[in-house]
Amino acid sequence: MRMYDVIAKKKHNEELSTEEINYFVNGFTKGEIPDYQVSALLMAIYFNKMNERETVDLTMAMVNSGDKLDLSKIEGIKVDKHSTGGVGDTTTLVLGPMVAALGIPVAKMSGRGLGHTGGTIDKLESFKGFSMDIAEEDFIKNVNEIKIALAAQTGDLAPADKKIYALRDVTATVDNLSLIASSIMSKKIASGADAIVLDVKVGKGAFMKTPEDVKDLANAMVSIGKSIGRETRAVISDMDQPLGLAIGNSLEVVEAIETLKGNGPKDLMELCLALGSNMVLLAKKASSLEEAREMLMESITSGKALEKFKDLISAQGGDASYIDDTSKFEKAKYIVPVVSEKSGYVKRINAENIGIVAMELGAGRATKESVIDLAVGIVLNKKRGDYVEAGEALAYIHSNHEEKIEKAKNDIIKNYELVSEYKDDIPLIFDVIK
C-alpha cells in the first residue's frame, strides 16, 4: 500500500477501506508516514468527509494504536462521562460523588486543562495533599472500595489521536465532524468505559456554535459507541453563558461543594441531574430516568454525595476538612465587584470571552507551559434573565495582580448584553440523543 494512493483516493471523494485507514493510522503512529502526507490526507478528509463506517474504523484504529485500560477487575457497569469543553464547567466534581454515592463505579481518567480554567486534576489540587498520580492498582482498589477514583491519564491511551490532533491543530483541520467524533470516542473507549454519557455543549462558549452542527456531532459519537457495543447517550446543553457562577479552579471546587450541599446554582444542578440520570440508567441501577433522578436528588438531601466527595479526597491524600470549612481554600488577594453603569435585563453573557478574561487573570493555561493560579477567576453575580440595577455588581473578579483588574472589569462589562425587556426562551437542555 502507498500513502500517495490513499491520499489520492480521498481527494477523489472515494471511500477508504478499513485496511487503508489502519495503514495510515499505524504508519503515522510509528513514524513511518511523514507529517506532510497525513496533513494532505486530513485536508482531503476535511473537504470530502468520511462516512459512518470510515469514522468507526478511524476510531478503532486510534483505540488500537496504544494501551487499553483494563477495568475488568472493577465490579459493576462502568459508565464514563465526557464533556466537550465549556466555560466554568464543574460537572465532573458534582456528578462523580453523586453517582458513586448510589454504588455505581466511577473510574475516571482526567487531563490537565488547556483553556479557560484548568482540568479536573488542576481543580482538585486546590485540596492540600490531593494527588491524581495514583498507581493503576490503587485506582482499581479505590473504585472497588469507595466506588470512585480520579486519576491523571496513565499509560499510552490512543497515541494516534494525540499525534493526529496535534497535526490537525496546525493544519486548520480540527473542525471536521468525523475527526472530532473519532478523537473523543477513541479516548473514552481506550479508557475502558462500558457505557458513555456525553455532555455536548452548544453556543458561544462551546466548540460547536449552532444546534444543527452539535446535533450532527452528537449523533456521530452515539453511533460510534453503538456500533462497537458501548451504549452511548449525548445530552446537548446550552453553553451560551457560563455554567454555574464560578469560573476558576478553587472557585469551582467551592461551587461544587455548595452544590453537593444542596445550595448550588440551579443550572449546574439541573445539568448534573440530567447527565447523572442517564448514567444511572446506563448502569442499570434504575428502570426509568425519573427514578434515577429521584435517587440522585436523595444522594444530595441525605448528605451521601457530600460524604462520598470527602471519601474521594481523603483516599487520594487530600485534606477533606476543606469541604466542611471552605474558607481553608487559598483566596485571591483582591476581590472586586464589576459594577454595572446601566440598568436592564441580562440578555446574553458571552461565555467564550468571559472564559478568556478568567484565563488572563491566571485561571487557565494560554500555553502548555503556563502555570495556573488556583485562587483566581470570576464569580458571576448576574445571569441571563436577571435584572440589574445601575450600581449593582454583575460579577466579582478574584485576582492576585492589582494591575490586571481594570482590563478584566472592562472586558466583563463589554461581554454582558443588557436589554430593557427580556423573556427567557433558551432551554438549558436542547436534546438527548440515544
Report the interface residues with ligand URA, using CB under 6 A: 165, 174, 179-180, 183-184, 207
29 binds, among ligand URA, Ca ion, none (CB under 5 to 8 A by kind): none
**Residue 351 sits in the site that holds Ca ion (CB under 5 A):** no
Are the C-beta atoms of 352 and 204 separated by less than 8 Å? yes
Alpha carbons 141 and 406: distance in angstroms, whole number: 49
Task: Give 237 or 277: the residue with its C-beta nearer to ligand URA.
Answer: 237
Q: How far is the CB of 43 from Ca ion (least distance, A)?
A: 37
Residues in CB range of 170: below 8 A, 6 or more apart: none
Q: Is 112 a catalytic site residue?
A: no
130 phi and psi, to 5 degrees? -65, 135
Task: Give 43 or 323: the residue with its C-beta nearer to Ca ion.
Answer: 323
Residue nearest to ligand URA (CB): 183
Q: How far is the CB of 34 from Ca ion (least distance, A)?
A: 43
Q: Which three cell numbers stand for residue 103?
A: 454504588
90 binds, among Ca ion, ligand URA, none (CB under 5 to 8 A by kind): Ca ion
Task: Give 90 or 110: the residue with its C-beta nearer to Ca ion.
Answer: 90
Contact pick of 105, 203, 244, 248 for Ca ion (by CB under 5 A): 244
Q: Is 183 a catalytic site residue?
A: yes
Q: Which of 236, 277, 206, 212 is nearest to 427 (CA)?
A: 236
Exactly one of 163, 168, 285, 398 is catalytic; which is it?
Answer: 168
- Give the E-state strand segments of 276-428 in sequence order: 334-339, 344-349, 377-380, 387-388, 393-399, 416-419
Exactly one of 80, 89, 161, 267 is catalytic; which is it?
Answer: 161
Q: How far is the CB of 21 from ligand URA (least distance, A)?
A: 17
- Alpha-carbon radius of gyration of the chain: 22
Task: Give 40 or 217: the residue with its C-beta nearer to ligand URA.
Answer: 217
Q: Which three cell numbers stand for residue 244?
A: 454555574
Residues in CB range of 183: below 8 A, 6 or more apart: 62, 161, 164, 165
Contact pick of 21, 38, 44, 88 for Ca ion (by CB under 5 A): 88
Are the C-beta atoms of 225 and 332 separated by less than 8 Å? no
Exactly one of 183, 186, 250, 399 is catalytic; which is it?
Answer: 183
Q: Which amino acid is at 391?
A: G
Q: Is 187 a catalytic site residue?
A: yes
**Residue 246 sits in the site that holds Ca ion (CB under 5 A):** yes
97 binds, among ligand URA, Ca ion, none (CB under 5 to 8 A by kind): none
Q: How far is the CB of 149 from Ca ion (least distance, A)?
A: 23
Q: Is 386 a catalytic site residue?
A: no
In angstroms, the Cα distances linking 85 to 47, 91, 360, 363 are 25, 11, 18, 15
Q: How far is the CB of 252 from Ca ion (least distance, A)?
A: 5
244 binds, among Ca ion, ligand URA, none (CB under 5 to 8 A by kind): Ca ion
Q: How far is CA 25 from the centre of its chain?
A: 26
How does DSSP assign 94-121, residue by residue?
HHHHHHHTTT--EEEEE----SSS--HH
Q: Which three cell numbers stand for residue 172?
A: 486548520
Task: Give 244 or 276: the residue with its C-beta nearer to Ca ion.
Answer: 244
Point out which span in 12-20, 68-76, 152-160, 239-247 binds Ca ion (CB under 5 A). 239-247
Q: Is 384 a catalytic site residue?
A: no
Strand order in the sheet with 195-202: 79-83, 195-202, 231-238, 429-433
Q: How far is the CB of 179 from ligand URA (least distance, A)?
A: 6
Contact pick of 29, 59, 84, 90 for Ca ion (by CB under 5 A): 90
Are the C-beta atoms of 309 and 257 separated by less than 8 Å? yes
Task: Give 165 or 334: the residue with its C-beta nearer to ligand URA.
Answer: 165
Task: Give 207 or 345: the residue with its C-beta nearer to ligand URA.
Answer: 207
> Among all residues, which ones are annotated catalytic?
82, 161, 168, 183, 187
Q: Footprint of Ca ion on this chain (CB under 5 A)?
A: 88, 90, 244, 246
